[in-house]
């Protein structure tokens, strides 16, 4: 199994509070991704990173920011959480872009009240 | 834009039944195609993949053939087991597109009864 951990695994927070989710990898892969999973939508890309300090937006980036100061860590921040951001968040990694397989972390279940 | 459409579930089968989950795609480039599986409470795992037309991906008794002429990548298994109960996602990745991110279908939940 690819060495990917996510923390926290579960979080309950209130509307308007900031929240940071962490993804940590031990594979030294260049690419890292944040997805959210919602019923009826499958997985949708929030942001991705193609190197340290190199990030870009995905399909559903509004209300989220990311940072990557080290190869192994990719942080996802909800600046001011809203109920619509209640979801399961998955981190993924890959060695390169294109047809390279992505490996997924175990997920973080976030509930915004 | 690029997209993936897969059959909606849930799908309920008896053990040892034949499984087909349909997946079709729309892509402007030359996609690689994937099937991922998600067991309850877990993240997604790669089940199989194919990177060019007519390739067949296979793993754990599951198979899917990349059909460019019908833009399809249907997942099949000849004899399902209770342990195959999971959600299955079809996905595509287009090199040179959005930096290689995966575009997923909405998922198909499979339940296998003993």
Query: What is the tens place of the pLDDT at every residue in A22-68?
Result: 999 999 999 999 999 998 888 999 999 989 999 999 889 999 999 99
Contact A101 B34 (CB under 8 A): yes
- Residue B108 sits at the chain A interface (C-beta within 8 Å): no
pLDDT band at B28 (very low <50, low <70, confident <90, very high): confident
Is a pLDDT exceeding 70 seen at residue B100? Answer: no
d(CA A70, CA A24): 10
Contact (Cβ atoms closer than 8 angstroms) between residue A89 and residue A36:
yes
pLDDT recorded at residue A2: 67
Contact A104 B100 (CB under 8 A): no
Nearest to residue B86, comparing CAs of B111, B69, B65?
B111
Taking the CA of residue B17 and the nearest CA in chain A, the distance in Å comes to 26
- The arithmetic mean of pLDDT across residues B2-15, rounded, is 92
pLDDT recorded at residue B1: 81
Is a pLDDT exceeding 90 seen at residue B20? Answer: yes
pLDDT recorded at residue B31: 86
- Please identify which residue in the block is written with the tokens 């599951």: B62
Is a pLDDT exceeding 60 seen at residue B99? Answer: no
- Residue B101 sits at the chain A interface (C-beta within 8 Å): yes
Q: How many CB atoms lie within 10 A of CB B60?
A: 12
- Residue A102 sits at the chain B interface (C-beta within 8 Å): yes
d(CA A54, CA A49): 6
Q: Which of A86-90, B7-11, B99-103 has the lowest mean pLDDT?
A: B99-103
Contact B107 A44 (CB under 8 A): no
- Residue A65 sits at the chain B interface (C-beta within 8 Å): no
Average confidence score pLDDT of chain B: 91
pLDDT band at B93 (very low <50, low <70, confident <90, very high): confident
Contact A45 B96 (CB under 8 A): no
CB pairs under 8 A between A and B: 63
Cα dihedral across residues A72, A11, A107, B104: positive or negative: negative
Nearest to residue A102, comparing CAs of B42, B74, B93, B59?
B93
pLDDT recorded at residue B97: 47
Is a pLDDT exceeding 90 seen at residue B21? Answer: yes
């Amino acid at each position: 199994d690819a060495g990917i951990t996510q923390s926290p695994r579960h979080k309950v927070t209130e509307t308007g509070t900031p929240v940071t989710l962490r993804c940590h990898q031990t594979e030294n892969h260049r690419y890292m991704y944040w997805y959210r999973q919602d019923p009826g939508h499958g997985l949708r890309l929030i942001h991705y990173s193609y190197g340290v300090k190199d990030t870009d937006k995905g399909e559903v980036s509004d209300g989220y920011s990311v940072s990557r100061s080290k190869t192994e860590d990719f942080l996802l921040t909800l600046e001011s959480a809203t109920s619509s951001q209640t979801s399961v968040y998955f981190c993924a990694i890959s060695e390169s872009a294109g047809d390279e397989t992505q490996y997924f972390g175990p997920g973080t279940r976030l509930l915004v009240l | 834009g690029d997209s993936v459409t897969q059959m909606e579930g849930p799908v309920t089968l008896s053990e040892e039944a034949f499984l087909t989950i349909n997946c079709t795609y729309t892509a402007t480039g030359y996609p690689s195609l994937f099937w991922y599986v998600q067991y309850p409470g877990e993240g997604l795992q790669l089940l199989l993949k194919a990177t060019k037309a007519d390739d067949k991906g296979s793993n754990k008794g599951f198979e899917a053939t990349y059909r460019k002429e019908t833009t399809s990548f249907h997942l099949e298994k000849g004899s399902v087991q209770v342990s195959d109960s999971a959600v299955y996602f079809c996905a595509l990745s287009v090199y040179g597109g959005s930096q290689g991110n995966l575009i997923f279908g909405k998922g198909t939940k499979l339940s296998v009864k003993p």
